[in-house]
Structure 1
């Protein structure tokens, strides 16, 4: 289950990145390189990059090493798979047999020259071509093909097996970090030619009819899709459907949708018992009249639409989200903190006018069921409207299966006009509702036990979680780079997580303390506060360092940080907080979660359910992050994992 809103993640798909536009491909990447003088592309490995000449040294499967310009190199994903004789085979294989292809090495003379030459010259030419495939063309053809001259530098190097980093020695140490791990696409066995000595030469090449036809086919494959086209994500969606579905696929998604609402109700019923131990599970079920109340459903609708009204107020700055697949950047109004202040004013005024908030405690279960029913209705609406959504607006996580897409969400950014449903639910009704519920529990504890003031344990829980929510709303913009926003669609998973799970499970410690008060001494309280602050410092400093590096990687304050370059043109932080563990913000989150549960004492394991659940959630989320980052950054991510071996907890995990 996703941890709704900012809580799930102040971390993104990777640790910390900065834009470095100087080069597009990283050392060790396997891409397609154009063979000089033709329109054919072959699979090559990037060996090195010369920043002065802006040339890449690449190696073909047959061992040939050349220097290519960046516009002669393309990612593997830009090509469709062809049948036999495709451009994926090495140039040497094409040169070896006329029966498989008529494309020849750069040294072979063009068709017109062969027709005009005598039979003896043809024999001599073919014999010379067999001995040295890189022989210069005949002088008679140079003038006729002057416009198509292409300079190619074939550098004599000592060749290593494909997958190792091979660079040109220029008398200076190699400063670029390279990955020793082979690229994930380099799975074939490569055979090096016996004669690997090459000389620098100049070729003049004329495209033949076969090359022209292949070039036309390539142009059709690489045709730019118009902005807003419904097929702009056809390749991505096809690739997504062939992958294994997350959360156990369709059976897992169905089990989660049916099991979580039932589990939530049982947890709340157990918390009301005098002895909420595992031996008393399952608790006795109340009458249906005690589970569903129309007034509770109406109260929840009022709360939801009140927060929607606050979000539409023209206050707060407007920022752009991450680029979408069609190049668009949606705009978002950042006013969550102002909405929180307005909510506090409304709640304070209602209390002053005599509204008894502790009634929420007595109707807590019906409210939870009302929120569940609303999340199901909202999920159904989201799925139906997504059936008419263009393909480029669908989520990368959608699969085409109706059950799974109902769960994970089919549409990435469902909007009603300028009102973004997913972004609104991430931080508003559930997160702010969590604080209001905690306040309700504090008042209910005082009234139930006839105390003059709430217990120290209740004050600690309220204070800790209030700080967390205020921090999330103050840094609201950070949620725009989370997996929830940029990858997952808006379906039952996020709707139930944001609107039900967050307010009714994250307030579980306060709900538990109303019926099971715990006395905490001041020394123990100080230790718990210290633990909470240490977790918050790790959480906030890690996220602040990441955001500062993204906004301005040239900041002198960040000059001490080390990075690894990636093929996407961005850098991965490998020092500071992000060199400590791969997800330091998750570590801080877990420490804070433990501090929230400690004030409840050790009489029962029930208040520690949140810590157990949250640990499982973050481990699962970290695995999703790792999968997405390895797919996106390839060999650079493997290099990062070697430098930072621990995922969340140092020396443990």
Structure 2
């Protein structure tokens, strides 16, 4: 039995039955008995196709064909009917010899047929023109040979009238784009978003030869002038491309629960950590008064911290690099000066200590700082969503859905910017990550003050050192952030705003916060084991990420010649040896080992210091599932081969 060529979830192009037209489809399943693929078209239609009727996406990117020149008989025949020239066909000036043309004709048993690539393009349609559209008749006739699809739509109108304006677009293998209505109307336009099941009703197909486009455009321009001059008001419908159906995090209900649950979880953790006995038996902790949660001065200090980091970001230092290509082919520019911002922040903190500024104020008002950061993240999320409403469609996040609640959570706009200031990129590493180190330093000073120590404990030193190394590594390798899912896939909404500005500095510092009130004496032999564990995790984490980043930058690097790869239909390759042949996500494995090393200095008296390890395990398992889904959809059968070669996801022989 022949092996299958395409995998479930892979996006390819399938031929519409009874025609030579290919449309973008998604592979749903494969029947090994009948050797048929069940595919789903963009309008929701599900059909079974043979493997010969399915082609990879990259086969339509560029077409190479011979010239239009042929034998004299063929040239005489071409006068009787119009021939369209494909996008890849050479200009008329490039002719091949008559003998070559004659040889090609004798090899072909059937007459050469014209292949026109078409595209479903959402158009601005007139409401009253399609009120009497006969959908069943359109389905019956769509597979027939029509030289003018506009005429086909006209036949399916019950009143027999042809739809207004024969807008045509010949598909050339490029990504779909929105056709916008350029007609300026004084009357208010009524816009609706068509569902995926009915979006094809508001779509016109183009089967016109290319040389007729000029005439059609002239007719359309005249019709548009008539419409603008016409006294009758028109209500138009703007169709948009279908939004994502497979919403993550449980969709809108899950997003609401997360947005309410994460702040509550954070404050319960901090309150529990302040108790003398932070065990589960004493849960829940007593709730604080309003005065213990809010202070205007604290809010002002937090805003000052945020804008000082923004000022460091705007300084003309650090190199400028380009990010990954966007949908429209553009590459945004990013300034890499996170490490310089960390050095400047360290200088400011050192000067504050020299001048006698009491940094323990942050410890005594830790809850107020957490609430101030939470309120700021919510306000920022509201601004980001309002800002995204003005953003063009090609600047929206691939994860956006059209649902207000879900988009507010996941982020509607992919790269929101104020001029050249990239808000998402700035928040990913600056205020939260650098703030995490400052909070740890404050907890070290608070431990010395509260426990009346002349020097910090060994456990506190290890926690500060381990996490400092992690932050410095992230800032030093700042460019690697540009290829992460947070930057290239997720929008900037509440999820990343709260995570970067609140969750990271106030939850990741939980071990240091715990040690202030719950000291733990750590022996040097045990400390040596913990240090070795930390270094082991760091080596796995850094080497795996460095190998991945080097391969992405230059796959032909001689230093990487020993690595084995699997070629994919996208033109890229997957590493199947080295660190990425060990498990599919070795960087996640290193992350988890380091997280465990951060918690071990706190001892085993309570479970609270190990909250980070538990949470981070859940986070990385969920992120790994998201990665798997995206990679399977992107790489198709090549990803399945990779999974067979590398069966374990994160932990060898376990998961």
Q: TM-score, normalised by structure 2?
A: 0.70
Deviates more, 1:253-262 or 1:615-624: 253-262
Closer, same or farther in 2 for the Cα pair 1:347/1:42, shift >3 Å? closer
Q: 1:443 to 1:242 in 2, by over 3 A?
A: closer
Query: Shift of the alpha carbon at 1:334?
Result: 0.3
Deviations 1:127-185 (A, max 9, x none): xxxxxxxxxxxx9977855999x9xxxxxxxxxxxxxxxxxxxxxxxxxxxxxxxxxxx
Change over 3 Å in CA distance of 1:455–1:219 after alignment to 2 = same
Query: For residue 265 of structure 2, what is the aligned residue in structure 1?
Result: 263
Mind listing any 5+ residue stretches in structure 2 that lack a counterpart?
28-32, 54-70, 86-105, 116-143, 153-166, 182-192, 200-238
CA shift for structure 1 position 558: 1.1
Report the counterpart of residue 222 of structure 1 in structure 2.
171
**1:45 & 1:264 partners in 2: Cα distance?**
41
1:459 aligned partner: 461
CA contact (8 A) 1:42 1:89 kept: no
Pick the aligned partner of 2:145 from 210, 216, 222.
Answer: 210
1:88-129 deviation digits (Å, cap 9, x = unpaired): 79999xxxxxxxxxxxxxxxxxxxxxxxxxxxxxxxxxxxxx
Change (3 A) 1:80 1:273: closer
Task: State the match for 2:127 in structure 1.
Answer: none
- Say which is worse superposed, 554-563 or 211-220, in terms of deviation: 211-220
Match of residue 486 from structure 1: 488
Equivalence for 1:544: 546
Give yes or no for contact 1:630–1:638 (8 Å, CA) kept in 2.
yes
Out of 342, 345, 349, the position equivalent to 2:344 is 342
Deviation at 1:650, TM superposition (A): 0.4
| Per-residue Cα deviation, 1:414-445 (whole angstroms, up to 9, x for no partner) | 10010010000000000000000000000000
Q: By how many angstroms is 1:224 displaced?
A: 8.0
Q: Residues 10-409 of structure 1: matches in 2 within 5 Å?
A: 31-32=12-13, 40-41=21-22, 81=43, 201-205=108-112, 210=145, 212-213=147-148, 220=169, 222=171, 241-409=243-411
**How far, CA to CA, are the matches of 1:271 and 1:526 in structure 2?**
27
Q: Could you tell me how far apart the structure 1 residues matched to 2:629 and 2:374 are?
A: 31
Q: Equivalents in 1 of 2:381, 2:11: separation in Å? A: 41
Residue 284 of structure 1, CA deviation: 0.7
Residue 422 in 1 paired to residue 440 in 2? no
Give the distance between the partners of 2:518 and 2:298, measured in 1 at CA: 25
Residue 203 of structure 1, CA deviation:
3.9
Per the alignment, residue 591 of structure 1 pairs with 593
Contact 1:597 / 1:611 at 8 angstroms: preserved in 2?
yes
2:514 to 512, 515, 520: 512
Rate the CA distance shift 1:42–1:377 in 2: closer, same or farther, 3 A. Answer: closer
Give CA-to-partner distance per residue, 1:380-426, whole Å, 9 cap, x none.
11111111211111111111111111111111111001001000000
> Cα deviation per residue 1:594-635 (whole Å; 9 max; x = unaligned)?
000000000000000000000000000100111111111111
Q: Which runs of 5+ in 1 are unaligned?
A: 1-25, 47-60, 65-75, 93-138, 151-198
> What's the CA shift for 1:220?
2.4
Q: Is the 8 A contact 2:244 2:399 kept in 1?
A: no
- 3-state DSSP class of the match of 2:653? coil
Deviation at 1:318, TM superposition (A): 0.4
- Measured after TM superposition, the shift of residue 553 of structure 1 is 1.3
Q: Distance in 2 between matches of 1:473 and 1:571?
A: 28
* Alpha-carbon offset, residue 358 of structure 1: 1.3
Partner-residue secondary structure (3-state), 2:298:
helix
Cα drift, residue 307 of structure 1: 0.1
SS in 1 for 2:566: strand
Deviations 1:347-388 (A, max 9, x none): 111111110111211111110010001001111111111112
1:508-561: per-residue Cα shift (whole Å, max 9, x none)?
Answer: 000000000100100000000000000000000000111111112112221111
Q: 2:448·2:454 contact (CA, 8 Å) conserved in 1?
A: yes
CA distance in 2, matches of 1:324, 1:566: 20
Q: Judging changes above 3 Å, is the alpha-carbon distance between structure 1 residues 569 and 256 closer, same or farther for their aligned structure 2 residues?
A: same
Matched, 1:610 2:612: yes
The alpha-carbon deviation at position 279 of structure 1 amounts to 0.7
Partner SS state of residue 319, structure 1: strand
| Secondary structure of 1:428 counterpart | helix
Counterpart for residue 631 of structure 2: 629
- Of the two structures, which has the highest relative contact order with CA contacts closer than 8 Å and spacing of 6 or more? 1
Equivalent position of 2:136 in the other structure: none
Rounded to whole Å, the distance in 1 between the matches of 2:375 and 2:26 is 54
CA distance in 2, matches of 1:230, 1:215: 17
1:565 maps onto 2:514 in alignment: no
Structure 1's 599 and 240: CA in aligned 2 closer, same or farther, altered over 3 A?
A: farther
Q: Retained in 1: the 8 A contact 2:35–2:50?
A: no
TM-superposed deviation, 1:244: 2.3
TM-score by length of 1: 0.71
CA RMSD of aligned residues (A): 3.9
Alpha carbons of 1:207 and 1:475: their partners in 2 closer, same or farther (altered >3 Å)? closer
Local SS of the residue matching 2:321: strand
Distance 1:442 1:550 in 2: 40
Number of residues of Structure 1 aligned to a counterpart in Structure 2: 506
Please list the CA deviations of residues 1-33 of structure 1 after superposition, one character each: whole Å capped at 9, or x if unmatched: xxxxxxxxxxxxxxxxxxxxxxxxx88888448
